[in-house]
Structure 1
Amino acid sequence: MTRHLAVLALLASGISAIPATRALADESACTALRDTVLSGAVVTSARVMPAADTLPAYCEVRATALPAISIEIRLPMEGWNGKFYQAGCGGFCGILGRADASGGWVNAMRPGLERGYATATSDSGHHALSVVDGGWAYNNPHAERDWGWRSISETNRVGNLMVDAFYGSPSQQAIFQGCSTGGRMAHVAASRFPEMFDGIISGAPAMDYPGLVATAMSWFIQANTAPDGSRILGAAEAKTIGDAVLAQCDGIDGAEDGAIADPRQCTVDYAGLGLSNQQLDTLARWREGPRNAAGEQLYPGGIPEGSEPFWFLWLTGDDKGSSPLVPAFAGGFGRYMAFDQDPGPAWTPLDFDFETDPARMTTSAEMYNGDNPDISAFRAAGGKMIVYHGWADAIVTPYKTVDWYEKAAELAGGTEALSDSVALFMVPGLDHCGILPGPGGINAAALDPTAALEGWLATGTPPVSIAAE
């Protein structure tokens, strides 16, 4: 494209032309992006960040998509591969670049930047003190909308305008990567914006927040709360239960490796473990998942066998008095994000009514959910999607992902037809997003779905593994 045509293309995209020196990718070309005029957004800073560790030097651009979506774009100073890589965020988000500060690859721009992509992420439309802080959403439907879906498209729009302005040409391919809430965002992208991304990576997707975080988590909390408010199952019981699960189920798949290959094949006899009837009742309710008084399942499955080593973080706390995260997520979501009318700070998950409350979350379900199994438009656009989930995930139960995949396959005409577009990897022993190390050290660092997706996009052959080399 000639410089004249490039300028016309930039103007047609709603941004002002940047001087031709931008093609040199020097510091002045980066800082000149501060003066870029965008429709519905503003650039707040642009600076060159030097190469460090595994990352190349890059132009860091901060922008705000109105009204309040904070976006960071990282543009390689040299060796741009002509492609775009967008990352999701975890929990309720609200902390720009949190994943990149952790040093891992999940929900981070790092794996894209290391490979030469222009990369982008956002805080999903609000600032918060932690990823379990939901107060920003209190009577704030615009912020809820941005968290639910708009931040995905606005990050993509602004990020690609910056790519075009800096390099003088648009990206030729786009990838999205996210886990947990980032996985929900991945599914929302596939259904709401089917032509936006050529490839999508979805990990442990919390694709139905009202069903999972309000309904299922409230069920788990209520089941584990004694009349005096204490926890019925704690860290000690988690160890006892986990040992029994491994002893009785580890070898079902033919290998005793400390991981349950498929908890659906695991039936455990808990007699003789010293658990009280109250504890056994809680465990049974945890395994079956939420139901109403008529016995109807309100969310697929419950807490899987093999996840017990991770219960201290999510469900029970540890023996040193730490607080688990599930009550924090369920509380913040229920108070400020879940219901058509926010109940406010006095609400707790113990207040959730399994007979009436699911029907009070229709508005949030429409804004947040990405569990629609009809991804025919994404498939028709040639999109490729890797979905992975740990069988030992104790917070985003894997049964929902399996349920979504089976329904998507039915709509696509069978698993063989769906395999042209979606590759599902259920990973034994893997904690939620691989945060904690599992059997044999299995965690996020043992996985590399980005390389698998790149190979699929390049060759058209679906991957058979997402293991890191």
Structure 2
Amino acid sequence: MATTPTAAADLCVVKLLVGPGNPGPADAPSTSPGIGIEVWLPAPTAWNNRLHVLGGGGWQGGGHTSLTTLAGTSRNGLVTPAEVAGVEGAVSATTDTGHANTTNGGSFAMLPDGSINTTLWNDFSQRSLHEMAVKTKALTLAYYGRAQRYAYFDGFSTGGRQGHKLAQVYPEDYDGILAGAPAFNWTRFITGELYPQVVQQRDLAGVNLTSAQLGLVSNAAINACDVVGGQHLGYIPDPTQCTYDPTKDLAVLCAASGGTNATASCVSTVQATAINKIWYGQTNDGSVPIPAADNGFAVSPTGNQRWYGLTRGTDLNALAGANPFPISTDVVALESQDATLAQPVFINAKANGANRWRQLTYADLAAAGDKGLALQTSFANINTDNPDLSRLRDRGAKMVMYHGMADVLIPPQGSINYYNRVATQMGGIPAIQNFYRFYLVPGMTHGLGNGTSNPAAVVPLPTAGQLYRLVTDWVEKGAAPGRLDIASTVTTTAPVASSRPLCVYPLKATYTSGSVTAAASYTCS
């Protein structure tokens, strides 16, 4: 077929199906034959004695059990299984996490009667991950006649959550784990992802802020908080210190609200307050403190704050734009066991999605979040927030976590919160840095790109290879990750690279002297 991909090297692809799955009506999204796993094996002469297994994204799913399509040529995070096997020379694998459905969102997790599908929740949350590790190792031994020397798990978003689930529950599966933008704290942050839409429904009579308005205010925040060495960077290097308040900025407020902005993208005081709410994060009652007093970056949510919002300067369109992020309505529907709260793509025999999320009050959304926490056992502990990593430590495995500070979907504060909880549980940050290290990447989105509202920002970013080597060098050479200098991509519109160091948390890049766009001008302190 013309659409069949051509491998760059000799590869063997094996598809596995691990039962029992979840039997049911043939046309129900919750019906599943089992866990699909696709394993990619390089030629014996090209194998580098590693496993480099990849995590998934969103609700995952996919064509892992299909005999006519390949799942491993699509990007699951930052690299594909085909790239890993064909270029790196490592055995790779991915899983559909127990369901093949990619068109109906979280529908697979609800039974036809509207109740929770505990079997597929468990497959999605954890069982598929362990089965993939066990089966990939067994297949590797059978194919090459010897076991791998090193086994790595590499995941981003849902894959970052998967990496932490493996660390918490199956620490024997991998020698090293790379976890980016982890989607742990699942019901907390995903329920909170719907909060920007509820704010606009309740405070703005259901009229969404325009992309121009979101951009105007977010870029004003960048302009207020991006100065280093007397120069503007174009992105905010440390959002934890940014307390910009659009309700007090005459340059973004409309004349009717006492401001000086006469363009169509100006905002009213009510709209500016709504943006403050989006930045602060979900509260029980829709309240928001003055940013100068609390900008939403507390290590643990306090008072009315239930979870964190997106950082100032981040592009808000993914969560506050014309439509909600689909997974957020899925999760609220599953927490409430009411499919009508989801969007129409959510299919269920009892009732389909009907966009009733628009009717949610602040109290309703808070109640849904409470149900999500109460249902963790039924959801196979999808929150993946257990801070006890003593089994991972004792096994001698290593883990590196990283998160963009301009992530448009998952607030980085959740990763900061978890890392500090692990430190509290396990003897402090110096103690856990013996096996678990963490990087925050200024300006980075939900992926290796610019997540700010300023498309012209020249944002230094790590590469997938740099991040992966942090883990492999730690495991194979005993070289613990430290300062990592990163650079922007040189393009025709940005011909001069900007660089900066990434520092191991809680250290931050501190400007000393010289060019503010040169890594050599900073120390980690």
Task: Please state which band the TM-score falls in when normalised by the shorter chain.
Answer: 0.7 to 0.9
Q: How does 1:29-428 map to 2 (within 5 A)?
A: 51-52=7-8, 56-66=9-19, 67=21, 68-77=34-43, 78-96=45-63, 100-102=72-74, 106=78, 108-110=80-82, 112-113=84-85, 114-130=87-103, 133-139=105-111, 140-214=117-191, 216-225=192-201, 230-252=206-228, 256-270=232-246, 271-272=249-250, 273-274=252-253, 275-293=267-285, 296-297=303-304, 299-308=306-315, 311-312=316-317, 314-317=318-321, 323-324=322-323, 326-335=324-333, 337-339=334-336, 345-346=353-354, 348-350=356-358, 351=360, 353-361=364-372, 362-364=374-376, 366-428=380-442
Distance 1:236 1:347 in 2: 25
Distance 2:367 2:339 in 1: 15
Q: Deviation at 1:107? A: 6.0
Do the aligned partners of residues 196 and 253 (structure 1) sit closer, same or farther apart at CA in structure 2, a change above 3 Å counting?
A: farther
Residue identity matched to 2:335 = A
Q: How does 1:441-460 map to 2 (within 5 A)?
A: 442=460, 445=463, 448-460=466-478
Q: Deviation at 1:212? A: 1.1
Q: Deviation at 1:463? A: 1.5
Residue identity matched to 2:479 = T
Distance 1:96 1:255 in 2: 49
Q: Deviation at 1:284? A: 1.8
Q: Deviation at 1:201? A: 0.7
- Quick check: 390-399 or 239-248, which moved more? 239-248
Do the aligned partners of residues 226 and 291 (structure 1) sit closer, same or farther apart at CA in structure 2, a change above 3 Å counting?
A: closer
Cα contact 2:50–2:149 (8 A) shared by 1 = yes
In the TM superposition, what whole-angstrom CA distance separates every residue of 1:415-453 from its partner, at most 9, and x where no partner exists? Answer: 111111111110000001235566325567576311221
Local SS of the residue matching 1:368: coil
Residue identity matched to 2:284 = N
Q: Deviation at 1:354? A: 4.1
Distance 1:284 1:227 in 2: 12
Cα contact 1:88–1:107 (8 A) shared by 2 = no
Distance 1:367 1:57 in 2: 40
Distance 1:444 1:99 in 2: 26
Do the aligned partners of residues 283 and 447 (structure 1) sit closer, same or farther apart at CA in structure 2, a change above 3 Å counting?
A: farther
- Quick check: 137-146 or 457-466, which moved more? 457-466
In the TM superposition, what whole-angstrom CA distance separates every residue of 1:55-99 from its partner, at most 9, and x where no partner exists? Answer: x32100111111221110001113212221211100111124798
Cα contact 1:69–1:122 (8 A) shared by 2 = yes
Q: Deviation at 1:149? A: 0.8
Q: Deviation at 1:466? A: 5.6
Local SS of the residue matching 1:410: helix
- Quick check: 404-413 or 204-213, which moved more? 404-413
Do the aligned partners of residues 276 and 373 (structure 1) sit closer, same or farther apart at CA in structure 2, a change above 3 Å counting?
A: same
Instruction: Give me the CA root mean square deviation.
Output: 2.8
Q: Deviation at 1:405? A: 0.9
Residue identity matched to 1:280 = A
In the TM superposition, what whole-angstrom CA distance separates every residue of 1:388-419 from its partner, at most 9, and x where no partner exists? Answer: 00000121000010111111122222211111
Local SS of the residue matching 1:432: coil
Local SS of the residue matching 2:381: helix
Q: Percent identity?
A: 26
Q: Deviation at 1:190? A: 0.5
Do the aligned partners of residues 134 and 466 (structure 1) sit closer, same or farther apart at CA in structure 2, a change above 3 Å counting?
A: farther
Q: Deviation at 1:234? A: 2.1
Residue identity matched to 2:172 = E
May I ask how many residue pairs the two structures share in their alignment? 407
Distance 1:299 1:201 in 2: 28
Local SS of the residue matching 1:356: helix
Task: For structure 2, list consecutive stretches of 5 or more residues without a partner in the other structure.
Answer: 22-33, 65-69, 112-116, 254-266, 288-301, 341-350, 488-525
Cα contact 1:389–1:401 (8 A) shared by 2 = yes
User: Which residue number corresponds to residue 26 of structure 1?
Assistant: none
Cα contact 1:99–1:105 (8 A) shared by 2 = no
Local SS of the residue matching 2:177: strand
Cα contact 1:64–1:71 (8 A) shared by 2 = yes
Do the aligned partners of residues 180 and 299 (structure 1) sit closer, same or farther apart at CA in structure 2, a change above 3 Å counting?
A: farther
Local SS of the residue matching 1:279: helix
Cα contact 1:448–1:467 (8 A) shared by 2 = no
Distance 1:392 1:69 in 2: 34
Do the aligned partners of residues 468 and 256 (structure 1) sit closer, same or farther apart at CA in structure 2, a change above 3 Å counting?
A: closer
Local SS of the residue matching 2:271: helix
Residue identity matched to 2:357 = P
Cα contact 2:159–2:182 (8 A) shared by 1 = yes
Q: Deviation at 1:261? A: 1.4
Distance 1:105 1:329 in 2: 17
Distance 1:99 1:229 in 2: 43
Distance 1:446 1:257 in 2: 24
- Quick check: 98-107 or 117-126, which moved more? 98-107
Q: Deviation at 1:281? A: 2.1
User: Which residue number corresponds to residue 510 of structure 2?
Assistant: none
Distance 1:402 1:463 in 2: 18
Q: Deviation at 1:241? A: 1.0
TM-score under structure 2 normalisation? Answer: 0.71
Distance 1:348 1:149 in 2: 30
In the TM superposition, what whole-angstrom CA distance separates every residue of 1:126-180 from its partner, at most 9, and x where no partner exists? Answer: 01234x7111112222111111111101111111111111111222221111111
